[in-house]
Amino acid sequence: MRLLTIDSVNPAILKVQYAVRGELAIKAEEHRAKLTKDDHGLPFKRIINSNIGNPQQKGLDQPPITWTRQVCALMEWPALMDLAPQAFPKDVIARAKELQEDIGSIGAYSHSQGVPLIRKSVANFIEERDGYPSNPDHIFLTAGASTGVSLLISMLITPPKSGILIPIPQYPLYTATLAQHSGIAIPYHLDEASEWSTSLHEIEGALAKSYEDGIEPKALVIINPGNPTGALLDENTQEELVKLCEKHSLVLLADEVYQNNLHKPDSHPFTSFKKIVRRMNSPIPVFSFHSISKGVQGECGRRGGYFECTNIPDSILALIYKMASVGICPPLTGQIGVDCMVRPPKPGEESYPLWKKETDTIHETLALRTKIMAERLNKLPGVSCVPSPGALYLYPKLDLPESAIEAASKAGKSPDTFYALQLLDETGICVVPGEGFGKKDGHNYYRLTCLCPGVEEYVGALEQFHVNFMKKYGRV
């Protein structure tokens, strides 16, 4: 009898690494289990999950948007409209009735590409944002943006010698998905000294090396705003990137899930690549991703997102539809969340004042936390942190003592993983070491979210740990 063993599974799966839910997150859950016991012996009372952008996670304080939850509640149980008609604003009831008319029961499958009415809503949102037409038939609703990214990378990769350009540092989804489909990551480094800007010269160098190594570059990934850096691209750089894609016949994968997380919108605005491509009348193929998990929605568990296809031929659209249909359809609850995101209440409607208050509060709170945390981290010895104008994170750099680097080596860990593990063991704060995002040799970082409440307690614990760590390894 042949048993199932590690040696008998697809070898590509063994190469998949996803640091956001890797060693640190697993150990954090082990500590969380210990904390349920009276004699846990840990020097902290709770785990602070600063490792992932999960705004509504227990222990964080970003509340759900009332508008979204009310519409979703009526879609889950339409009888509530009659049982408690005074409990819901009139515009919520109207939206639920409109969606119900098109969808029916959310317990049934939808169109594999997503509910037609909701795809039209997404198209209208994109047209209003960019000033250029959007075709609902070129929009695919997905179970979060990650599902769309994985689908398209699986279609673009032709093993064994094709690859995709990814920024370093990057969101580990890209390297994990490439490993899963036997693709090759072609790294290009962002410029930390220039607010983590994207360098055309760096990308050209990465392309030249890939050609030398016999690797065919298929696509360029741009994360804007950046993850983990929060950096935003200016329009001149975006135009140059489009020209580069034209020159090298690259597909552009535009990860824009943080487009509504802007802390300095006046000086660091967001512009979509769809708008840039249409303005330039460029023929490059573009896939643009968005999600309800980020922004002010924070509906990670609902699993809703979409991607728009720009300059994609009908033959490829048919293939994408075929692959999407294998999964039958994205979750209806996620699709409804997308509709609530792209079609919020308008001024003059009953739900608008509360929606405006809730969303403004989320923006203001996140921007203030990000500012305070960056300022205080930058005051620590051996820490430098580029202030983040967007997204949900900070990405401080660590200048660690040589004795700490040697101790990490003896422990079989990278220096930033060694640091992050001790941070978790001593404070209960779970971060993601820079090793998981990619980095230059000799550099060390960690990513932490700016979602945690109680900034004084949270940052105070980070500060105290860091000072003690530096003293322990010989630097005050």
Percentage of residues in the chain having pLDDT higher than 70: 98
pLDDT at position 12 over 80: no
pLDDT of residue 21: 63
pLDDT at position 20 over 60: no
Instruction: Categorize the per-residue pLDDT at 7 as very low, low, confident or very high, splitting at 50, 70 and 90.
Output: confident
Tell me, yes or no, if the two domains 6-62+357-472 and 100-342 fold the same way: no
How far apart, in whole angstroms, are the C-alpha atoms of residue 186 and residue 162? 9
pLDDT of residue 189: 95
User: Beta strand 251-255 with 216-223: parallel, antiparallel or unpaired?
Assistant: parallel
pLDDT of residue 1: 65
pLDDT in tens, 320-376: 999 999 988 999 999 999 999 999 999 999 999 999 999 999 999 999 999 999 999
pLDDT of residue 360: 95
Report the amino acid identity of residue 135: N
Instruction: Categorize the per-residue pLDDT at 35 as very low, low, confident or very high, splitting at 50, 70 and 90.
Output: confident
Fold assignment, 100-342: Aspartate Aminotransferase; domain 2 (3.40.640)
pLDDT at position 181 over 90: no
pLDDT of residue 61: 74
DSSP letters along 62-114, please? -PPPHHHHHHHHHHH-TTHHHHSGGGS-HHHHHHHHHHHHHH--TTS---TT-
- Asked if 321 contacts 277 with a C-beta cutoff of 8 angstroms, the reply is no
Tell me which residue has tokens 């932490």.
448
pLDDT in tens, 77-135: 999 988 988 899 999 999 999 999 999 999 999 999 999 999 999 999 999 999 999 99
**Residue 146 has which token pair?**
């990650």
pLDDT in tens, 194-219: 999 999 999 999 999 999 999 999 99
User: Rg of the Cα trace of the chain?
Assistant: 23
Instruction: Tell me the average pLDDT across 432-455.
Output: 87
pLDDT of residue 60: 75
pLDDT at position 173 over 90: no
Query: What mean pLDDT value characterizes the chain?
Result: 92
Domains of the chain, residue spans: 6-62+357-472, 100-342
pLDDT of residue 376: 94
pLDDT at position 138 over 70: yes
pLDDT of residue 18: 61
**Any idea what the Cα angle at residue 259 is, between residues 284 and 237, rounded to 5°?**
45
pLDDT of residue 429: 92
**Residue 10 has which token pair?**
């697809």
Instruction: Tell me the average pLDDT across 246-261.
Output: 96
pLDDT greater at residue 24 or residue 272: 272
The SS3 of residue 2 is coil
CATH for 6-62+357-472 (1.10.150.120, 3.40.50.20, 3.90.1150.10, 3.30.70.1350): 3.90.1150.10
How far apart, in whole angstroms, are the C-alpha atoms of residue 251 and residue 104? 37
pLDDT in tens, 396-429: 999 999 999 999 999 999 999 999 999 999 999 9
pLDDT of residue 475: 61
**Considering only 59-63, 144-148, 166-170, 185-189, which range has the smallest mean pLDDT?**
59-63
CB atoms within 10 A of CB 372: 14
pLDDT of residue 270: 96
Instruction: Tell me the average pLDDT across 42-69.
Output: 86
The residues facing 306 across adjacent strands are 141, 290
